[in-house]
Structure 1
């Protein structure tokens, strides 16, 4: 269907393509200058002391946890309303993952986090769901009181802010990870980055990114070759092709964010015409600015007398994509036995993500909400005309 509306879509223009072609025609494809340029531009954008670009958002999480010392015998507290990578990266280092419950926004509930802390807890990973920042003041206070590290998984939140601070500034956390997957705010095709405030940790992140190596001239090398491996690392390098695309995309971030805000406001206005006991967007907070990565709504499918699968299928038949964010991680077979998070389970059972990306037009949003109205209410709801 040519006019199918996916739940997410990247926006790449001729300028982006030209920047990538320039690297293909005349520069190093990897380990060249574009990566450091991209890192500097990212750090300046979010007012971070340092930035290390890597090959994916998952690599960013794994490297961040390792640089902060997470390992066997440790526990990491995180949210079950996230992609499995947030937890898996900790398990790959031998740590146990403990899931805390969430609030109405799908973000970590600080009181649940506090209740989960043990003498084995090493850190907290706060996931900014759908682009809305967590309660970082409270989570930061908890981390400081217990001597824990605090990582922000901001895969959804590049361009968001909390209490006037850009997400990524590291003012309230040790490190912040982001993703440049094609459905995110900007893309490098695949890629990610870690914002970091400590210089020694930044240097360690760079070693982890490159097989655990530190460049050091070998004896009698006259400075022409040599390296030392100091710990186990990985090939987590971002290519110069990806960095060139990322630099071009970053220049458009304000425009992308503005478009997402406008789309969200239109959705909110149109959804406001429907029965809020059946369907409603997530709550907003006066001290936080969401980056609107997703357009999640909560739907009481039982009251609507439609299963989520039926609603998604009916939307698909009308040329509209949707998605579920997320199946709670603690309910996955691998994590079974990790305990119960009843609020997260309820949140997930009612969550549906509607199309959200900068290329979406007002007429597209009207089409989505009209279709949802028809499916959920069989035409009985109020009009959603703009």
Structure 2
């Protein structure tokens, strides 16, 4: 089986983790700050807050932006459920904006139309989560301009996108958003096992997220409501969570981040080779904006379903039967049972649903060989024939 994604663990990664295991700190030691500094430096952000998952990062990002009961969070339907669930965790209501059929990201034109109507109805969003699907950045300049006009805050869900660039600047630099979130799950571009990070240029947001990831507890006298009783003293000043990243995870991240640029470059090489190999097949290959640089977390093709005999499901099953570990990213969130019970229905976001009916994620990972890639293409060609 050729998996759709696979981590690259080398001896230097193992050594870094073992060094921590033999140290005095397995949690709340010096390695997590070192990892935070490495990521912040790479993406040119002032602050980075490491947590145990990107979902946790999304949650504390929403809380730091004061999202709460009665507020609205908007995001794209084509994403993992966490991009929407983070709003529900805060007691907010969730809605979606349909995708651009070319990029598969949240469509700025659809957003503009929906915002105009929402202003008339008095239901503007407080937070928009812009998801960089597959690693390709959203059109952030247009989204940011709309945020200035309508007064919402922006979280970039860059779980797929670390190492990429938007208009020549690293994704996560904060030019067009309040907070950017990264994921370090094993199938992502670099891994800490499980893990995530929120980066920002705002001092207050960084301080709030740091507090929220660790029970809302502080030992800083300046943050306390009254004088400490002694050097042992701490105070809970907010309702926080245990979202901390361990030292072992951070050690793996520090080691992995050194190869980030090489990983992204290799992903782009393989993706461009896919483009060439698939040019004559009845699939639509992913369009890339010429001014941007994608992290290329996923390589998604869309089947030309009207031009082939087999169904979408039959092609998918054929690939799996041939040992190709394809996947589908993602089932539209509004079609999940949890969201259907909120009133969402089939037909609400037609571009997202059309994408879902055609999309298949092909294997793509830095250690993938050209021979494996040739096998994927050959299997797809056979599957399309039926």
Match of 1:38 in 2: 35
Q: In the alignment, is residue 261 of structure 1 matched against residue 259 of structure 2?
A: no
Q: In the alignment, is residue 106 of structure 1 matched against residue 104 of structure 2?
A: yes
Counterparts of 2:63 and 2:220, CA distance in 1: 22
Whether contact under 8 Å (1:7, 1:322) holds in the other structure is yes
Offset at residue 308 of structure 1 (A): 2.5
Counterparts of 1:258 and 1:98, CA distance in 2: 35
Offset at residue 212 of structure 1 (A): 1.1
Offset at residue 113 of structure 1 (A): 1.5
Offset at residue 115 of structure 1 (A): 2.6
- For 2:235, which of 221, 228, 237 is the aligned residue? 228
3-state DSSP class of the match of 1:152? Answer: strand
Offset at residue 66 of structure 1 (A): 0.5
- For 1:250, which of 234, 251, 257 is the aligned residue? 257
* 1:60-99 superposed Cα distances (whole Å, 9 cap, x missing partner): 1001000011010001110000000000011010111110
Offset at residue 377 of structure 1 (A): 2.8
Whether contact under 8 Å (2:228, 2:234) holds in the other structure is no
Counterparts of 1:33 and 1:40, CA distance in 2: 11
Match of 2:302 in 1: 298
Q: Which runs of 4+ in 1 moved over 6 A?
A: none
Match of 2:380 in 1: 372
Offset at residue 114 of structure 1 (A): 2.1
Counterparts of 2:267 and 2:278, CA distance in 1: 16
Counterparts of 2:35 and 2:24, CA distance in 1: 15
Whether contact under 8 Å (1:98, 1:116) holds in the other structure is no
Q: In the alignment, is residue 192 of structure 1 matched against residue 189 of structure 2?
A: no
Aligned residues: 371
Superposed CA RMSD: 1.3
Structure 2 length-normalised TM: 0.93
CA distance change for structure 1 residues 263 and 220 in 2, over 3 Å: closer, same or farther?
closer
3-state DSSP class of the match of 2:130? Answer: strand
Offset at residue 273 of structure 1 (A): 2.4
- For 1:26, which of 20, 23, 27 is the aligned residue? 23
* 1:20-61 superposed Cα distances (whole Å, 9 cap, x missing partner): 000001230000000000000000000011100000010010
Offset at residue 302 of structure 1 (A): 4.4
Aligned 1:55-70 pairs, distance under 5 A: 55-70=52-67
CA distance change for structure 1 residues 27 and 252 in 2, over 3 Å: closer, same or farther?
farther
Q: In the alignment, is residue 94 of structure 1 matched against residue 91 of structure 2?
A: yes
Whether contact under 8 Å (1:77, 1:113) holds in the other structure is no
Match of 1:353 in 2: 361
Counterparts of 2:355 and 2:318, CA distance in 1: 22
Q: Point out where structure 2 has 5 or more consecutive residues left out of the alignment.
A: none
CA distance change for structure 1 residues 215 and 372 in 2, over 3 Å: closer, same or farther?
same
Q: In the alignment, is residue 319 of structure 1 matched against residue 323 of structure 2?
A: yes
Q: Point out where structure 1 has 5 or more consecutive residues left out of the alignment.
A: 379-386
Match of 1:381 in 2: none
Offset at residue 219 of structure 1 (A): 5.2
Offset at residue 185 of structure 1 (A): 0.5
CA distance change for structure 1 residues 247 and 81 in 2, over 3 Å: closer, same or farther?
same
Match of 1:307 in 2: 311
3-state DSSP class of the match of 1:205? Answer: helix
- For 2:10, which of 10, 13, 21 is the aligned residue? 13
Whether contact under 8 Å (1:48, 1:170) holds in the other structure is yes
Offset at residue 316 of structure 1 (A): 1.8
